[in-house]
A and B are shown apart, each in its own frame.
Chain A
């Protein structure tokens, strides 16, 4: 979850002003927007996640260390009941440590079916490598204003034998900074399943990024998950053995 989230929110601009995406193809646009996140070698971030439901709401705070998209380690810092729990992602595997019971567990696929920490983020979001470049065909279908910024509207259709269950996606990528501001995900029958919105564009650690991401499932009105980045540092040096089971237990 961490990996993808960061990827989603990171932006690698600032010192690449010449890259106004005027003459690029749709695929190149998507690739560039995606690559920017990938280009990030590592990062440490502090985030707040709000799970919103019609009848209740929950807020979780956590800190995250990531290297590329392979490894990440997340520490829950609030609320009190969940504090101290850590999650380690290494490739496709996910581990969980709970200090209250002093127990390290490798999470089987079934455990992830309910969404991470009760949110709308699924197993796929967390573990799966994003393949929007190679698994889809891309086409610019227009330009629209999202939150006062002019964006490319790009339609991405899943290839027939691609290992994704989505039918197609529509992405709004801001022309100036190549930020993904909005994504709509559709199933194979053309029905909207989920919408993702990026907002609150700020500069953090020298980069321009949307610091607020909202995940809105289409079917359940009143359900959404919001993630806000409080703080983030890029290209910090983190040792490979930081991402270990022993470290999960030690992290505070």
Chain B
């Protein structure tokens, strides 16, 4: 065996060029497979994480009937000690309480059904972060007139601004995307433009009795900061809920449907309004990662902490079963494209092996005719292929690592409509690679299998070898 190994090794170095080329084919196979998969997982993962972290939470503690009947009647008591205990569970990053329900909003003669979301302003910063969505800039007719009259900014630029008349923005980057100025124009004029379209805004303090209201709703009810909004509805166990609330700030929500009807208030205020003292409808929990192991671990620990047997911790998958199935469907499409890549790289490897065998026909013929057993020759070739494969694999994994690292920290920026949409949601408009994970090794395994498959060809060829013809080639 050891002799075989020596022979194989020497064979490889005898014709360095051939060795390099063959192992290079394996190298490239691994390299591309890893990078492609990393991109697929990275982008998809990022989208899921964005959704989970800004909306659903990895886990939620709810009354077990709440999911089917999202009403305040299925709320539960969440003591401070419970919240603290849950925050202390391993892998829990942050915890945020919520109350979600409906009410009727009224101002002047206008009445409209609205969604009420109660939050803890501090804790919510790590979740949906509504502060991010506060309207900071608004392009009104007034601001345009003033811009034209009081600044020296050229008209083409101001015309572009005017195209977005009536829009509100919570982020500069989104505004810039809509505006479409060149980088030099941006640098030169943006600071001034921003000054003129800036609007004052406010957030909620932790015990605030006021509310935040979404832009379109504020337009409909014709209210702005400082005005009051009246909310009416049905509270806990059918009690009547009614209250008057000052508007503290205006938000722009990315989804137009939500933007039409969102009211945000603090939890104590909502508890008073719905006559549900001490109760909340859900407690969202963010974890360090969404791997199955970490999620079920945290879920179990949290369930143990819940003394109220009506409450239960559910994962985001349990809370969004339709989304999960859509993701599964999408991911399979991704697998299909990956499959195509595998086909291609397999041919790369196979082609190289094919040529290698063709080139060495004479050599094999000589070896067999001078007495080497075909079995032994096969063994040697297997070892050669294994070594070539190993070299290519390791080199491929090593080479792909810096690429993954780079695009993880400096991902590709997304422009166009999707860039805008992601900015609206407060997400980074990027397409990143995935961090190292099982997929990394899986690609290596698959390529190793390909090498194995490709090896079958030379073995067969050797088996069918007719020495005389081989010598003559």
Q: Which of B233, B240, B243, B244 meets A82, CB within 8 Å? A: B240
Cβ–Cβ contact A81 & B238, under 8 A: no
Binding stretch for chain B, among A21-29, A32-40, A113-121, A122-130: A113-121
Chain A residues in 8 Å Cβ range of B275: 81
Q: Say yes or no: is B230 at the interface (Cβ < 8 Å to chain A).
A: yes
Residues of A in contact (CB 8 Å), total 23
Q: Which of A53, A100, A111, A117 meets B104, CB within 8 Å? A: A111
Cβ–Cβ contact B106 & A105, under 8 A: yes
Bound complex: CA A58 to CA B238 (Å): 8
Q: Say yes or no: is B237 at the interface (Cβ < 8 Å to chain A).
A: yes
Q: Say yes or no: is A103 at the interface (Cβ < 8 Å to chain B).
A: yes
> Given A108-B111, A110-B113, A101 and B230 touching (CB < 8 A)?
yes
Q: Say yes or no: is A211 at the interface (Cβ < 8 Å to chain B).
A: no
> Given A98-B232, A105-B111, A118 and B242 touching (CB < 8 A)?
no
> Given A101-B230, A101-B232, A105-B111, A117 and B240 touching (CB < 8 A)?
yes
Chain B residues in 8 Å Cβ range of A110: 113
Bound complex: CA A98 to CA B231 (Å): 11
Q: Say yes or no: is A51 at the interface (Cβ < 8 Å to chain B).
A: yes
Q: Say yes or no: is B400 at the interface (Cβ < 8 Å to chain A).
A: no
Q: Say yes or no: is A15 at the interface (Cβ < 8 Å to chain B).
A: no
Quick one: CB contact mask for A80-122 with B, threshold 8 Å, 1 for yes? 0110010000000000101011110110101100110111000
Bound complex: CA A108 to CA B244 (Å): 20
Residues in A142-179 with C-beta less than 8 Å from chain B? none
Chain A residues in 8 Å Cβ range of B111: 105-106, 108
Bound complex: CA A118 to CA B111 (Å): 21
Cβ–Cβ contact A100 & B242, under 8 A: yes
* Chain A proximity of B103: nearest CB distance (Å): 9
| Range for the number of chain B residues in contact with chain A | 10 to 19
Which residue of the partner chain A has the closest CB to B275?
A: A81
Q: Which of A81, A105, A119 meets B232, CB within 8 Å? A: A105
Bound complex: CA A100 to CA B245 (Å): 12
Query: Which of B104, B242, B275: most chain A Cβ within 10 A?
Result: B242
Cβ–Cβ contact B104 & A81, under 8 A: no
Which residue of the partner chain B has the closest CB to A85?
A: B240
> Given A81-B275, A108-B111, A110-B113, A103 and B240 touching (CB < 8 A)?
no
Bound complex: CA A92 to CA B234 (Å): 21
Cβ–Cβ contact A98 & B238, under 8 A: no
> Given A101-B232, A103-B106, A81 and B239 touching (CB < 8 A)?
yes
Cβ–Cβ contact A51 & B240, under 8 A: no
Chain B residues in 8 Å Cβ range of A98: 232, 240, 242
Which residue of the partner chain A has the closest CB to B106?
A: A105
Bound complex: CA A98 to CA B238 (Å): 15
Chain A residues in 8 Å Cβ range of B239: 58, 81-82, 118
* Chain A proximity of B311: nearest CB distance (Å): 14
Cβ–Cβ contact A117 & B238, under 8 A: yes
Cβ–Cβ contact A108 & B240, under 8 A: no
Residues in B93-116 with C-beta less than 8 Å from chain A? 104, 106, 111, 113
Bound complex: CA A207 to CA B111 (Å): 43
Q: Which of A100, A105, A118 meets B238, CB within 8 Å? A: A118
Residues in B239-286 with C-beta less than 8 Å from chain A? 239-240, 242-244, 275
Q: Which of B113, B234, B237, B242 meets A101, CB within 8 Å? A: B242
Bound complex: CA A111 to CA B103 (Å): 8
Residues in B375-416 with C-beta less than 8 Å from chain A? none
Chain A residues in 8 Å Cβ range of B233: 111
Chain B residues in 8 Å Cβ range of A108: 104, 111, 113
Chain B residues in 8 Å Cβ range of A51: 237-238
* Chain B proximity of A55: nearest CB distance (Å): 8
> Given A98-B232, A101-B232, A111-B104, A56 and B240 touching (CB < 8 A)?
no
Binding site for B on A (CB under 8 A): 51, 53, 56, 58, 81-82, 85, 96, 98, 100-103, 105-106, 108, 110-111, 114-115, 117-119
A-B contact pairs, 7 of them (CB 8 A): A101-B230, A101-B232, A103-B242, A108-B104, A110-B113, A115-B238, A118-B237
- Please give 11 more A-B residue pairs, beta carbons under 8 A apart, in addition to A101-B242, A106-B111, A108-B104: A56-B237, A58-B237, A82-B239, A100-B242, A103-B106, A105-B106, A105-B111, A108-B113, A111-B104, A111-B233, A117-B238
